[in-house]
Structure 1
Amino acid sequence: MLDFGVKREIFLDFSVGSKIAFYGLAAISICLFIFGIIQRIKKYRSGKDTKGISNIAVRFKDFLSLSLTNKTIIRDDLYSGISHLLIFWGFIILFAGTAIIFLNFDLLSLLNRAWNFWHGSFYLWFSLLLDLFGFAFFVGLLLMALRRAFLRPPCLDYRRVDTSPGTYSRRSYILGDWLFLGILLLIGVSGFFLEGLRIAMTRPPYSSWSFVGDSLAKLIIKMTGGKAPGVTFYKLIWWLHSLMSLAFIAYIPYSKAIHILTDPANFLLKEEVAGGVPPFAEDEVDLDKLGYMELKDFTWRELLSLDACTKCGRCHISCPAVISGSSLSPRDVILDLRDFINAKAKAFLLWDCQATSHEGEKLVGEVIKEETLWSCTTCLSCTEHCPVFVQHLPLLIKMRRHLIEGGFIDEGIQDALINISECGNSFGEP
């Protein structure tokens, strides 16, 4: 019999076998998530150690300010910034809501039924809050989808500046972006539709607190001629929503969705490099090891920073080298480095990397071309415009050092150095 009290059932008319199946799938999803996170951590641990983290209180304050306001995302692009803010807070509140349901039904209620708080005023306000932020979540995702499908700003153009069209493919990047957006949209839409079906079936007198679900319920009842939808159809949508949610949890460490974790971590742990030019590390004093040549040369913070990149393209469109038509794109440098490192670390990813193994390729000269490195003017525009504080310049400088160690110096720079040596100025004037 359906309960008309001020509460709702989580497993409405579900058998014990269905509940066991759900919790079994949830356990598998969580295990896949943990395994993926462990693989990421192993990759970071393969990098060099760095000095300790200083100014922890200041870092944490900045971390909260940047994370909760999304101000670095809003700063250069109001449309995408507001859209992301809606998605961010919608996701946070919906995640918190799921955690509260887990706490109530899977922990406290098992320990003592009297501790159940999923009823009365708490439930009503909880329902209102989840519908409000769930709707914000949906609107933000819809705006992002419209931006990619129709507005197509230059920053989302993944074409390379250093390679002719047809010699490479960025299809996996595009598929990864749409998969990420699509699965979140499907979770959001199916969640509201599920709520509408439940309200149409139970018709509780307090359904107006769930204003989105209540509106959908009225539409469903109207479309079915006043009849309540069947339990079988409700269960079908329930499983669709649940399976998509569990799939998303498992999908996070292997995809673009990892930025949910790596971006906040990069905010908190980013390296502070004065002027953007890195000093020599202790192991770079030996000229045989000057600069970056392979995976083990990167620090663990740099490896984390590469995973924080979301391919937003703001560094790309603000770079003077890109604007002038040279072979450097700071976005492509970060993506190429990430693909190279993931290939060497044998990381498993879903549509968030180029289809290349980098087998036998050298980092400097092949993965990142010499002319690309020398095209950088060290103006720091890329770093200034990056909303997640990826530091492009230190990586470019450290790879340049390897070129200098090997004697591969840009001809223009060689001429300038010779002129300074012989004439005392870079122009070669007496």
Structure 2
Amino acid sequence: RMAPSTEFPGNLFYAITFFGLIAFFLYSAGIRYRWFLRGQWVNRFSEPIRRGLGLIPFVLGNTRVARRKYWYSGTLHSLIFWGFVVLQVRTLNFLLNGIHEDASLQSLLGDVYTGFRPVMEVFSLLVIVGTLMAAWQRFFWRPQRMTLNIDGWIILGLIAWLMVTDIFTNSAAIALGHLDNPEFSFVAYGFAELWGGIGFTGQGLELFHVAWWYAHLVDFLVFLVYLPYSKHSHVLTIVPNVFFRSLQPSGVLQPIKDFETAESFGVGKVEQFTWKQMLDSYTCTECGRCTAACPANLTGKALSPKQIIIDIRHLMEEQVPALSPTTHRPEQPTPLIDEVGFDPIWDCVTCGACVEECPVFIEHVPTIMDMRRYLVMEESKMPETAQAVLTQLEQRGHPWRGTQLTRTTWIEEMATDGVEIPMFDGSQEYLFWVGCSGALQERNVKVTKATARLLLEAGVSFGVLGNEEGCSGDPARRLGNEYLYQMQAQGNIDVFKAKGVQKILTMCPHCFNTMEHEYPQLDGRFEVLHHSVFLEQLVAQGKLPRQVGVNGLSEKSVTYH
């Protein structure tokens, strides 16, 4: 019943191997943890109950991993993950038994542990199935989105070998008569019957047990110490990364506070990222779902959200002490922008598809935007098109270069048609925020007029600002000029408050996102509705009658974008 490590010299080997490799693991993890201490502060400790409850579906439930589109990857990952969770019981029993039999879970829990053994046998098989599925995916399927390198094979090999050594160790223990109720460990029991059937007994079987016991111990410890050096470090970081996830909508950007006292704007060095952004890089599984969903990447641009997160980790690893004297480290850290690249930073359209797809809640867009802010506000480096838009915003208050329309053109045209659009004076319930596109782009002007007619037909109390309306600030913020954004946003907020605005109807989804989710950062709190949602409410309330069959649309499925 005793493990090989409970007697000399096994106990000495066990102590040196176990405590030596655990110490090395703590060192490897510790020197990387120091990066998080160097990162900028961000508060992710609010709503701890909500954060904690989120671990159930997102970590234990694998809900973001096992999405329908990625059912194969989700299935194999779930088999391996759940197997690892369950088999931690057996691993703990193994390590405690290595100290002394009386310290093991089998000894302490008795029948409870014995009754759990069949469950662990099932999950051992499921983990093996999961690793075989992963091997097939990597060797034959080879999805373009994934990073296919030796690192993945090393981890798969260590996991599969861990299961094999576990089963063979238990089979030898059963054959030697070390386990009560051996049939509960039915996989290992089958092998034990095989050993007996071929006459494998005596000292040879003892040596067989010792060899597999130490093989299992070493494999477990090697797997552990390898994690900090592998992309599979997410095994260690996924729980904190999910717990500290952003609870805001993915389209929300955080402001630069205290412009007058800020020493720098944006992020031009790794240490200027927040600790959560650094944690993101060590949590990336390199599955590539973010890049597969990226519209910029799909159109052939250089942007790969996955690669940006990987590049940031590489820069952090570049400054971690080298283990070998032959390991090359640059004399000066590689500049962040040089590593990530100018074009990828500017290819991002901040749609947030990468953030929505990421199974481990990495926040790519804020990270990219922080580097873009640095390029704009510190270096004045940007594409000519971005420079032209920002200049247009500063000079004319909107991004549309060359338009001949004004913010009141559509109002004047409707008046010519006999339709009067009221100006907002504080007596109306809603401010109808038209936006730059709604007033200054001919295609969108048609939508603005149609919406205004529907509001009038439904008897909605609303008004517009006309020439007092400015840009919401969204283009300036997304282009990295946070200072210009805050000027425009604060100007709008001041006008809203002066006129007593409480409720806002927006045409543009960008204006909606900015006013609903980002204006509160500047103390601009209003009830904001997108016109599509509001019109749906009016139809449901019977204020706008359905015209079934008039235009043929009732028989079609329509996607609003």
Relative to the length of structure 1, the TM-score reads 0.83
- Correspondence for 1:429: 403
Shift of 1:326: 0.5
- Correspondence for 1:363: 336
Task: Please point out which of 51, 58, 61 is paired with 2:43.
Answer: 51
CA contact (8 A) 1:104 1:117 kept: no
Matches within 5 A, 1:8-407: 9-11=1-3, 15-51=7-43, 53-75=45-67, 76-100=69-93, 102=95, 106=99, 109=102, 116-117=107-108, 119=110, 121-156=111-146, 158=147, 174-202=149-177, 206-222=181-197, 224=198, 230-282=205-257, 289-344=264-319, 346=320, 357=330, 359-364=332-337, 366-405=338-377, 406-407=379-380
More displaced, 268-277 or 317-326? 268-277
Instruction: Give the Cα–Cα distance (whole angstroms) in 2 for the partners of residues 118 and 105 of structure 1.
Output: 17
CA contact (8 A) 1:277 1:393 kept: no
- Correspondence for 1:164: none
Shift of 1:358: 8.8
Greater RCO structure (CA 8 Å; 6+ sep): 1
Instruction: Give the Cα–Cα distance (whole angstroms) in 1 for the partners of residues 185 and 86 of structure 2.
Output: 15
More displaced, 408-417 or 269-278? 269-278
Instruction: Give the Cα–Cα distance (whole angstroms) in 2 for the partners of residues 348 and 184 of structure 1.
Output: 26
CA contact (8 A) 1:271 1:301 kept: no
Instruction: Give the Cα–Cα distance (whole angstroms) in 2 for the partners of residues 207 and 131 of structure 1.
Output: 12
Instruction: Give the Cα–Cα distance (whole angstroms) in 2 for the partners of residues 24 and 13 of structure 1.
Output: 11
User: What SS class does the counterpart of residue 336 from structure 2 fall into?
Assistant: coil
Task: Please point out which of 383, 386, 402 is paired with 1:410.
Answer: 383
Instruction: Give the Cα–Cα distance (whole angstroms) in 2 for the partners of residues 29 and 108 of structure 1.
Output: 22
More displaced, 56-65 or 383-392? 56-65
The change in CA–CA distance for 1:401 and 1:218 in structure 2 (over 3 A counts) is same
* Structure of larger gyration radius: 2
Instruction: Give the Cα–Cα distance (whole angstroms) in 2 for the partners of residues 285 and 303 of structure 1.
Output: 27
Instruction: Give the Cα–Cα distance (whole angstroms) in 1 for the partners of residues 179 and 271 of structure 2.
Output: 61
The change in CA–CA distance for 1:211 and 1:108 in structure 2 (over 3 A counts) is closer
List runs of 5+ in structure 2 lacking aligned partners: 405-561
Instruction: Give the Cα–Cα distance (whole angstroms) in 2 for the partners of residues 180 and 213 of structure 1.
Output: 24
CA contact (8 A) 1:423 1:429 kept: no
User: What SS class does the counterpart of residue 374 from structure 2 fall into?
Assistant: helix
- Correspondence for 2:410: none
Instruction: Give the Cα–Cα distance (whole angstroms) in 2 for the partners of residues 239 and 13 of structure 1.
Output: 9
List runs of 5+ in structure 1 lacking aligned partners: 1-8, 159-172
Instruction: Give the Cα–Cα distance (whole angstroms) in 1 for the partners of residues 21 and 29 of structure 2.
Output: 12
Relative to the length of structure 2, the TM-score reads 0.65
CA contact (8 A) 1:87 1:140 kept: yes
1:62 alignment partner AA: G
Once the two structures are superposed, residues 7-59 of structure 1 have per-residue CA deviations (whole angstroms, 9 ceiling, x without a partner) of: xx241697432123212211112211222222122111011112351111111
- Correspondence for 1:168: none
Shift of 1:287: 7.1
Q: CA RMSD in A?
A: 3.0
* % identical aligned pairs: 27
